[in-house]
């Protein structure tokens, strides 16, 4: 190959080398840029991760704050709850104290009132004819006022019991006839005095017997009738109607029930007051108490008692158009009309009261000896006056211990009237000791106490009491009871 050819070949190779170098450089540049992009991408990814991490941290932080806030709120709620609970306990305690206080005060008031009523009643009899008309009139006012006072005390006591949750219901079979007769006897004189047209109407399709709490039912009806008489002006009309009614009339589940409807032509209750009069210490307006008297407890107690009996007590009235109160006893109160109740049923308060109230039926006793055990001397005095008048001998003891000692020396005792709450030895302990002695197992013992709790009655009867009367006892009731055992 000649020099010229070598030169050409050299130039060719040099060009090829340069081209290769150029390509390599381009490739290197490309790689650099790719690398740069990758680095950027990595950096932006890293930044995104960092950003996301920051966001998560922020979220975490706010979640933690939120959690702390919730924790705080929960703590606050807990402490509030605790404070409320403590307050509730305190209030309950206060309420109980109040109820106990009211019960105690009522008891203390009832005991002296008891003797006042008995003595006034005795003197009103004027058996020796020594009192003139004015004196008898004064006495009748004392007797009436004492009875009114007693009713107020009873209301307060009931209300405190309701509030303390101590009021319970005792269902038994009650004769509608006897119930209505008692009400008739009690309200007829009142109605006559004000020249009111007073009627009691029992639907003929009703049976004789219903199932209810006799005492509470009577209490509600007495209250309603007493209100009706009180708020109806002279020449007006007061009516009690007893009839089959529809239970739950506003719902799909209706059945038959028993309703007592007390209506009058009195002053009525304005629409806006029809709920408040059922609240404690509330009357239709401030002037009611001034014009008509009363504590404002009657209807509140009626509503509570009605609730306790699962009954409903409603009012329909317009101002100046009279009022109609309806007490509806739940369906279970209606009993099938059968005769089997009659024989045993005569032994109940209504019968005895109605019978007892008829003075003609009370015959004098035959100088039997009654031992009267009571620490309240006023009460003992009043009772002994009453019993001596009925032809009984009366021995007095101030407590159980004294009575037991007296029984050791004076064996001619035909019956014991025993107070429950006494110092030194209470009636319950004395009764137990008496029954533990053979000689006195059969001696009739009538418990007499201001406590009206059913628990006490049960306890006394278990311990061997033959009868149980609660103070203030109606004269007729006591005499009937004595007749039963002497």
Partner 1 sequence: MKGIIFTEFMEMVEEKFSVDVVEEILSAANLESNGEYTSLGTYSHEEVLNLVTLLSEKSGLEAGDLAVVFGEYLFGRFATIHADFFHGVSNGFDFMEKVEGYIHIEVQKLYPDATPPKLTCTRASDDKLELHYRSHRPFASVAEGLINGCAAHFNENLTIDRQDLPGVGPGTEARFIMERTS
Residue 396 CA: distances (Å) to CA of 45, 287, 387, 418: 109, 48, 12, 10
Instruction: Choose between 28 and 104: whose C-beta lies nearer to partner 1.
Output: 28
Closest contact distance (angstroms) between CB of 64 and partner 1 is 47
Instruction: Choose between 43 and 56: whose C-beta lies nearer to partner 1.
Output: 43
Closest contact distance (angstroms) between CB of 18 and partner 1 is 8
Closest contact distance (angstroms) between CB of 67 and partner 1 is 52
Instruction: Choose between 18 and 137: whose C-beta lies nearer to partner 1.
Output: 18
Q: Which stretch binds partner 1 (CB under 8 A): 10-18, 108-116, 174-182, 442-450?
A: 10-18
**What whole-number distance in Å separates Cα of residue 334 and Cα of residue 336?**
7
Instruction: Choose between 10 and 97: whose C-beta lies nearer to partner 1.
Output: 10
Closest contact distance (angstroms) between CB of 38 and partner 1 is 14
Q: Residue length, the chain?
A: 486
Closest contact distance (angstroms) between CB of 49 and partner 1 is 27
Closest contact distance (angstroms) between CB of 42 and partner 1 is 18
For residue 393, list its beta bridge partners.
369
Instruction: Choose between 16 and 49: whose C-beta lies nearer to partner 1.
Output: 16
Instruction: Choose between 28 and 81: whose C-beta lies nearer to partner 1.
Output: 28
Closest contact distance (angstroms) between CB of 43 and partner 1 is 17
Secondary structure, 3-state, the chain? CCHHHHHHHHHHHHHHHHHHHHHHHHHHHHHHHHHHHHHHHHHHHHHHHHHHHHHHHHHHHHHHHHHHHHHHHHHHHHHHHHHHHHHHHHHHHHHHHHHHHHHHHHHHHHHHHHHHHHHHHHHHHCCCCCCCHHHHHHHHHHHHHHHHHHHHHHHHHHHHHHHHCCCCCCCEEEEHHHHHHHHHHHHHHHHHHCCCEEEEEECCCCCCEEEECHHHHHHHHHHHHHHHHHHCCCCCEEEEEEEEEEECCCCCCCEEEEEEEEEECCCCCCHHHCCHHHCCCCCCCHHHHHHHCCCCCHHHHHHHHHHHCCCEEEEEECCCCCEEEEEEECHHHECCCCCCCHHHHCCCHHHHHHHHHCHHHCCCCCCCEEEEECCCHHHHHHHHHHHHHCCCEEEEECCHHHHHHHHHHCCCCCEEEEECCCCCCCHHHHHHHHHCCHHHCCCCEEEEECCCCHHHHHHHHHHCCCEEEECCCCHHHHHHHHHHHC
Q: Which long-range contacts (CB under 8 A, 24 or more apart) does 389-393 make?
A: 389/122, 389/125, 389/127, 390/362, 390/364, 390/365, 390/479, 390/482, 391/364, 391/365, 391/366, 391/367, 392/365, 392/367, 392/368, 392/482, 393/367, 393/368, 393/369
Q: Which stretch binds partner 1 (CB under 8 A): 14-22, 297-305, 343-351, 355-363?
A: 14-22
| Binding pattern for the stretch 75-94 against partner 1, x by CB under 8 A and - elsewhere | --------------------
Closest contact distance (angstroms) between CB of 48 and partner 1 is 26
Is the distance from CB of 297 to CB of 159 less than 8 angstroms? Answer: yes
Instruction: Choose between 34 and 437: whose C-beta lies nearer to partner 1.
Output: 34
Closest contact distance (angstroms) between CB of 26 and partner 1 is 10
Please report whether residue 13 would count as binding partner 1 according to CB under 8 A. Answer: no
Show contacts with partner 1 in window 15-74 (CB under 8 A): 17-18, 20-21, 24-25, 28-29, 32
Instruction: Choose between 25 and 285: whose C-beta lies nearer to partner 1.
Output: 25
Region of 115 please: left (phi>0), alpha (psi -120 to 50) or beta.
alpha
Size of the residue set binding partner 1 (CB under 8 A): 11
Closest contact distance (angstroms) between CB of 66 and partner 1 is 51
Show contacts with partner 1 in window 150-189 (CB under 8 A): none
Instruction: Choose between 29 and 40: whose C-beta lies nearer to partner 1.
Output: 29
Closest contact distance (angstroms) between CB of 30 and partner 1 is 10
Instruction: Choose between 17 and 437: whose C-beta lies nearer to partner 1.
Output: 17
Instruction: Choose between 31 and 89: whose C-beta lies nearer to partner 1.
Output: 31
Show contacts with partner 1 in window 347-366 (CB under 8 A): none
Closest contact distance (angstroms) between CB of 1 and partner 1 is 15
Instruction: Choose between 39 and 342: whose C-beta lies nearer to partner 1.
Output: 39
In the complex, which residues of this chain contact partner 1 (CB under 8 A)? 7, 10, 17-18, 20-21, 24-25, 28-29, 32
């Amino acid at each position: 190959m000649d020099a010229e050819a070598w030169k050409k070949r050299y130039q060719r190779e040099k060009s090829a080398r340069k081209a290769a170098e150029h390509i390599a450089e381009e490739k290197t540049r490309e790689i650099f840029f790719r690398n740069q992009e990758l680095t950027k991408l990595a950096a932006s990814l890293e930044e995104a991760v960092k950003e996301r991490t920051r966001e998560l941290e922020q979220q975490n932080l706010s979640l933690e704050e939120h959690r702390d806030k919730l924790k705080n709120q929960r703590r606050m709620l807990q402490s509030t709850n605790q404070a409320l609970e403590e307050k509730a306990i305190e209030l309950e305690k206060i309420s109980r104290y109040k109820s106990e206080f009211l019960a105690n005060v009522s008891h203390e008031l009832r005991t002296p009132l008891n003797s006042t009523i008995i003595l006034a009643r005795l003197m009103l009899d004027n058996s020796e004819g020594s009192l003139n008309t004015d004196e008898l009139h004064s006495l009748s006012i004392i007797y009436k006022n004492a009875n009114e006072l007693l009713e107020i005390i009873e209301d307060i006591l009931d209300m405190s019991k309701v509030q303390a949750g101590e009021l319970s219901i005792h269902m038994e079979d009650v004769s509608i006839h006897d119930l209505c007769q008692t009400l008739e006897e009690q309200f007829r004189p009142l109605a006559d005095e004000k020249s009111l047209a007073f009627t009691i109407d029992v639907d003929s399709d009703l049976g004789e017997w219903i199932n209810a709490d006799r005492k509470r039912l009577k209490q509600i009806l007495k209250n309603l009738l007493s209100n009706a008489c009180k708020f109806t002006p002279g020449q007006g009309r007061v009516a009690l109607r007893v009839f089959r009614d529809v239970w739950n009339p506003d719902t799909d589940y209706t059945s038959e029930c028993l309703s007592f409807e007390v209506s009058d032509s009195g002053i009525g209750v304005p629409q806006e007051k029809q709920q408040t009069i059922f609240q404690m210490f509330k009357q239709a307006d401030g002037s009611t108490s001034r014009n008509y008297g009363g504590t404002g407890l009657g209807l509140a107690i009626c509503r509570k008692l009605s609730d306790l009996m699962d009954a409903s007590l409603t009012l329909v009235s317009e101002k100046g158009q009279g009022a109609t109160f309806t007490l509806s006893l739940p369906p279970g109160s209606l009993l099938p009309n059968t005769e089997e109740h009659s024989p045993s049923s005569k032994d109940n308060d209504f019968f005895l009261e109605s019978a007892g109230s008829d003075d003609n039926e009370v015959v004098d006793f035959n100088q039997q000896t009654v031992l009267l055990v009571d620490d309240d001397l006023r009460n003992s005095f009043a009772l002994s006056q009453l019993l001596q008048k009925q032809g009984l001998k009366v021995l007095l003891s101030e407590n159980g211990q004294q009575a037991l000692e007296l029984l050791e020396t004076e064996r001619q005792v035909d019956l014991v009237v025993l107070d429950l709450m006494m110092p030194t030895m209470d009636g319950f302990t004395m009764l137990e000791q008496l029954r533990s002695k053979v000689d006195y197992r059969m001696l009739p013992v009538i418990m007499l106490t201001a406590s009206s709790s059913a628990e006490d009655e049960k306890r006394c009867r278990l311990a061997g009491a033959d009868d149980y009367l609660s103070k203030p006892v109606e004269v007729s009731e006591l005499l009937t009871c004595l007749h039963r055992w002497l």
